[in-house]
Amino acid sequence: MIRALVVGIFSFVVFLPAFQASGSLQGHASEALGVVVEASPDSEYVVVIDNAEAQHTSPAGRALIAMLEEFGVGDSNDALSKSLNEFAVSIGVEPDQAFDMLLGRRLILIGSGHWQGNQERWALATVMPRGLALRVLDELNAKGRDVESGHTVFALEDGAYRAALIRPRGPRGNPNDLRLVIFGPKSSGDVIAALIRSLSTKERWDVLVGEGNEPVAAVAGMLNKNDNSLSFGVALVESGWKGQVTIHGVAQPPAAAGWSQRGFDRLSQDRWFAMAGVESFDAFLASPAIWMIPFDWEPLKKMSPWMTGRVYLGLMPEGRSVSFEAAIEVTDTQGAAVDFDWAMYRLIEFLSGHPGADGKGFEGFLPQAVRHAPIGGPAASELGLLGERPSAAWAMTSASGPGWWVILLGDGSNDLAGVVREIGSKLPSDEVSGPMLSIASVHPGPLGEAFERAAQMPQSFLKPLKHIESIRWTTRPGEQSALEITFEVRMSVGDG
């Protein structure tokens, strides 16, 4: 029962990463996180989930739950739900209130190393009223085994697990009658003992539980493994979630022009997907997964010396079809034109499915002129996403000097050349940069519908994505070799 419950909770953390919140980004959860990390400095991970009960009243939360149920996650008939419902009845709690009453106020996950075997080391702590906690222990047939700092340590399930009800030490006791209940395997007995000693002090108790201190709903956590660490915090804003992940000990990338939010917004307007970043093309070509694709990558190696590192990708709706756009910044458009024209010809050849495809012969002549070539051949019928006349258009943004190589794949019935020039006019110059290493925006719902139409998948697994309105994220260098990732997920809450 206890192992199944813990596995279910970690699934809950993965699939429901944030809850309704007000105030600062992390709220009280970040303070509790600091206290637990101080009490258990050797832990490899600590996660604090506050006020999960608020999730059930959040419109965004309901949309997320609906999406997960369509994916088959969180079915009320699964084994974990049935087990939890049966346990709730046995302790006199309504099944639909069980999770909130047992785990919904403040839930803390602590651990390091193994999750199975004789060396598993983890602990789960939750805040609940003393009377309910005693009913839980009674139902689990808890038996007193040890005493630590005036607290009884109980043995559960024939001694395989340990549990304790932590209260604040001192003459005042605990006026609001709450307890911090800790569970863990027998092999984590020393961890539980250390937590009892540390967390029962009045100062730390006030932060973890407090008197009348109702926590706002939020999530905060940290992971620390092999001198690599990250911290994160998430909260609800309007119809979705906003959060930040900080990865510590990351080597800073070489100096290069980055992206600004304003510059990206100009490009990403009306796009279903847009991503801009600073990438190493040599590292991309060195990836073993790339060479599994049946494409001749050798011509692309010649492109790498011309690249600055800044790239852009986008998908834009065109009626019932989609156009794919890309841009690569180069140091000299005239010098790079021959290699890039040849690479484009090989790409058209690959997409067409036969050698000798259209697109050959430009050879760098007038690099700023828009080239245009149909994508025919036996594979053209498989490119239905690009419309009835799959075509390619490309050009450099200038005749010489620094600039961009812009590519567009779409329906040749449309003005592809005009779109290529429009994209080029919105791209930043070599002098214009920003602090972002990468920035992206995705609208999963309409994007999934487009792929469904193209692949003729009426029962596609992509359908549940309609519940997500948009996802945005950015990465930027932080202080002291840190990488900061911010993200925002907005749900399609509708009228529900």
Q: pLDDT tens-digit profile of 234-256?
A: 887 778 888 999 998 776 655 56
Residue pLDDT tens, the chain, 496 long = 555 444 444 444 433 443 333 333 334 788 889 999 998 888 899 999 888 777 666 788 788 878 877 777 655 556 666 777 777 788 888 877 777 788 888 889 998 865 555 567 899 999 888 889 999 999 999 999 899 988 999 999 888 999 999 988 765 555 457 889 999 999 888 889 999 999 988 888 888 886 556 677 788 999 988 777 899 998 877 788 889 999 987 766 555 678 999 989 999 998 999 999 988 777 777 776 666 676 677 777 888 899 998 999 999 888 778 899 999 999 999 999 999 998 888 888 888 776 655 556 688 899 999 999 888 765 556 666 788 889 999 999 999 999 999 999 999 989 999 999 999 999 998 777 888 899 999 998 887 777 766 666 555 666 788 889 999 999 998 887 788 999 999 988 764 4
Inter-residue contact 139 to 90 (CB < 8 Å): yes
| Confidence (pLDDT) at 183 | 94
For residues 153 and 178, give the distance between their C-alpha atoms in angstroms, rounded to a whole number. Answer: 17
| Confidence (pLDDT) at 319 | 74
Inter-residue contact 33 to 220 (CB < 8 Å): yes
Q: Classify residue 373 by burial, with Cβ atoms within 10 Å: 0-12, 13-18, 19+.
A: buried
Q: pLDDT tens-digit profile of 444-476?
A: 888 777 776 666 655 566 678 888 999 999 999
| Confidence (pLDDT) at 174 | 52
Inter-residue contact 464 to 67 (CB < 8 Å): yes
Longest dimension (CA), the chain: 89
| Confidence (pLDDT) at 16 | 41
Q: How far is CA 490 from CA 64, 403, 441, in A?
A: 10, 35, 11
For residues 124 and 32, give the distance between their C-alpha atoms in angstroms, rounded to a whole number. Answer: 14
Backbone conformation region of residue 299, classed left if phi is above 0, alpha if psi is from -120 to 50, else beta: alpha
For residues 100 and 54, give the distance between their C-alpha atoms in angstroms, rounded to a whole number. Answer: 9
Strands (E), 9-61: 45-50
Tokens found for residue 227: 């001198």
Phi, psi values for residue 111, rounded to 5°: -175, 175
Residue 40: which of 307, 224, 228 has the closest Cα? 224
| Confidence (pLDDT) at 240 | 83
